A and B are shown apart, each in its own frame.
Chain A
């Protein structure tokens, strides 16, 4: 089935460790996005990519890194520099410019 897959659904890490969240899509979409969702904060954009080998910072990129080596994959690394990494992370993709984004089911990251 076509869709956007985020894995794992729940992720636990110790403070000070880097962790990578996976996002894969088989929809042949060009654009991909990473959002962070916290209670009362809505969805805040971390990074987005319009094309392979290119990406742009969003509003809260500090402490995060991404890569876009393949069209179907857009992994997000949460580094130890991110002060409050515990959150719900959503990945999305969009097929064409100026069309809506389709979302994965999210990854709940807990750092202890």
Chain B
């Protein structure tokens, strides 16, 4: 079975610092897609970044970037210059070739003023 593991249930960092959220996954497929979603207190799910497994280059979106290590099945999210508005639950997700999307249990991130 395909699984997604987020080993950090909760994290806190000071505003303007850099923080890295961890994610590992398990699959026997060679081509797949990975995502990070953000869920603020409103509970609306927002896509932060996506990565295609066949692309070696790590995805970046402004202050958000990933470290994709395919052999290690690792997909961490780095948030640079963190802002108060980054406070949220962050979910790592995996999409297989059948369009099934599996989520991890999430990391609750607190940005402290």
Binding site for B on A (CB under 8 A): 31, 33, 35, 40-45, 48, 50, 56, 58-59, 88, 90, 92, 94, 97-103, 105-106
Instruction: Given A41-B105, A42-B91, A100-B35, decide whether A31 and B45 contact each other with a Cβ distance below 8 A.
Output: no
- CB of B43 within 8 A of CB of A105, answer yes
What's the minimum C-beta distance from B54 to chain A, rounded to whole angstroms?
10
> In the complex the two chains form, what is the Cα distance from A98 to B93 in whole Å?
12
Q: Which residue of A lies closest to B3 (CB)?
A: A59
Interface of B is mostly: loop
Taking CB atoms, residues of chain A closer than 8 Å to B52 are: 98
Q: Which residue in B42, B100, B106 is a CB contact (below 8 Å) of A42?
A: B106
- CB of B99 within 8 A of CB of A97, answer yes
- CB of A31 within 8 A of CB of B99, answer yes
Interface of A is mostly: strand
Taking CB atoms, residues of chain B closer than 8 Å to A44 are: 103
Taking CB atoms, residues of chain B closer than 8 Å to A103 are: 44-45
- CB of B45 within 8 A of CB of A92, answer yes
- CB of B99 within 8 A of CB of A105, answer no
Taking CB atoms, residues of chain A closer than 8 Å to B47 are: 100, 102
Taking CB atoms, residues of chain A closer than 8 Å to B45 are: 90, 92, 103
B19 contacts A by Cβ under 8 Å: no
Taking CB atoms, residues of chain A closer than 8 Å to B91 are: 42-43
> In the complex the two chains form, what is the Cα distance from A76 to B98 in whole Å?
21
Of residues 73 through 113 on chain B, the ones whose CB sits less than 8 Å from some CB of chain A are 91, 93, 95, 97-106
What's the minimum C-beta distance from B13 to chain A, rounded to whole angstroms?
21
Q: Which residue in A40, A43, A88, A102 is a CB contact (below 8 Å) of B103?
A: A43
What's the minimum C-beta distance from B77 to chain A, rounded to whole angstroms?
15
B33 contacts A by Cβ under 8 Å: yes
- CB of A33 within 8 A of CB of B104, answer no
Q: Which residue in B43, B100, B106 is a CB contact (below 8 Å) of A48?
A: B100
> In the complex the two chains form, what is the Cα distance from A106 to B41 in whole Å?
13
- CB of A106 within 8 A of CB of B105, answer no
Taking CB atoms, residues of chain B closer than 8 Å to A99 are: 33
> In the complex the two chains form, what is the Cα distance from A101 to B93 in whole Å?
10
